[in-house]
Amino acid sequence: MLKAIDKSMDLTSFEKTNNNLLSKDGILRNACTIAVSNNSSLVASITRKTDEKIIISIVEQSSKPFAIFECKRVGVEEGMKKGPQTIEKAKQGAYVARAVSSLQKVRVSSGDLYGIIYKGNNVLYSQPYHELLAKVVGSDDAELLQRFILTVGVVSNHGNWFTSEDHNKELKVLAQSYDWLIFLTDSGITEFVEDLIINPTTEYEHVKKAFLASYAPDKKKNQFTKVQMNINADEALLKYFTDNLRHIESWFNIIAPSSGNVRQLKDEIKTLKLKSWEEIL
């Protein structure tokens, strides 16, 4: 792949990795990093597959993101009602959310939530939090954007975080930390499992096969993780999400901000995506 783009891109500053985009067993590596430099990475993805060929896209990705999504998953041991590490996961998420971005949350004496952000030259800028977040996202001011990262946490219940209406202390910790906290409902995850694993139609049968193969007694390699996915299952999953996007959005509740919605989050990410990051950074 690197040889294929060598004539169209200067690769002297990049070091090749040992990652394989696709194994001989048909296992795909999601967002496969094929080379790295000090400031960016080259990431390969399969965009289309036919019987005769595979179309691959290679993009240069900045080492500094404008947004991060972090899923906090906690397992529940047999006989337990709640994952024993839930509070540890909450603290980990809170640390990440507060450490990566220059925009921080503070409580003032009135109890109101304010935001504070470093603007360069030892200048701190403060405003009511949600107003400041909207101002930063909509700004073209490089000093505001250079160290800013929109933080999005994703949680689901499974007996650990309770519900979007009934926040336990762990969920409150996360809601206080991320810019956005999204809750995947039980009905949403149940529908996903029903549609793709328990009773899939013919077009999604590869998803079920990959899932079952990953937990068979004689399995050779896991084919159903966030990093590794059977190529046929990956294609089926992309089709499922593309065909059902609007409905899948209804699987999620917004916990923080309390007045937020999925459309607003998508608009903020789109606004950030369209900024001139090469000039800003």
Peptide linkage before 200 cis (omega within 30 of 0)? no
Q: Give this prediction's pTM.
A: 0.87
Which parts of the chain fold into alpha helices (H)?
2-5, 86-100, 129-138, 142-145, 169-175, 186-193, 205-214, 231-243, 245-249, 262-273, 277-280
**pLDDT, tens digit, 9 for 90 and up, residues 19-65:** 999 999 999 999 999 999 999 999 999 988 888 899 999 999 999 99
Residue 95 structure tokens: 């640390």
Residue 217 structure tokens: 């007694």
Which one, of 34, 100, 30, lies nearest residue 68 by Cα?
Answer: 100
**pLDDT, tens digit, 9 for 90 and up, residues 106-121:** 989 998 999 999 887 8
Amino acid identity of residue 105, one-letter, is K
Per-residue pLDDT of the chain (281 residues; tens, 9 = 90+): 999 999 899 999 999 999 999 999 999 999 999 999 999 999 999 988 888 899 999 999 999 999 999 887 655 556 665 555 666 777 777 788 888 999 999 989 998 999 999 887 888 999 999 999 999 999 999 999 999 999 999 887 655 555 556 666 777 778 888 999 998 888 899 999 999 999 999 999 999 999 999 988 888 788 999 899 999 999 999 999 999 999 999 999 898 898 899 999 999 999 999 999 999 98
Using a 10 angstrom Cβ sphere, with 0-12 exposed, 13-18 middle and 19 or more buried, the burial of residue 196 is: buried
Cα–Cα distance for residue pair 44/33, rounded to 1 Å: 6
What was the pLDDT predicted at 86? 64
Largest CA distance in the chain: 66
Cα–Cα distance for residue pair 139/124, rounded to 1 Å: 16
Cα–Cα distance for residue pair 178/107, rounded to 1 Å: 15
Amino acid identity of residue 256, one-letter, is A
Cα–Cα distance for residue pair 150/270, rounded to 1 Å: 12
**Which residues neighbour 240 within 8 Å (Cβ) at sequence distance 6 or greater?**
195, 196, 204, 207
Cα–Cα distance for residue pair 166/177, rounded to 1 Å: 18
Domain boundaries, the chain: 2-62, 67-185+251-280, 187-248
DSSP assignment of 136-166: HHH---HHHHTT--EEEEEEE-TTTSB-SSS
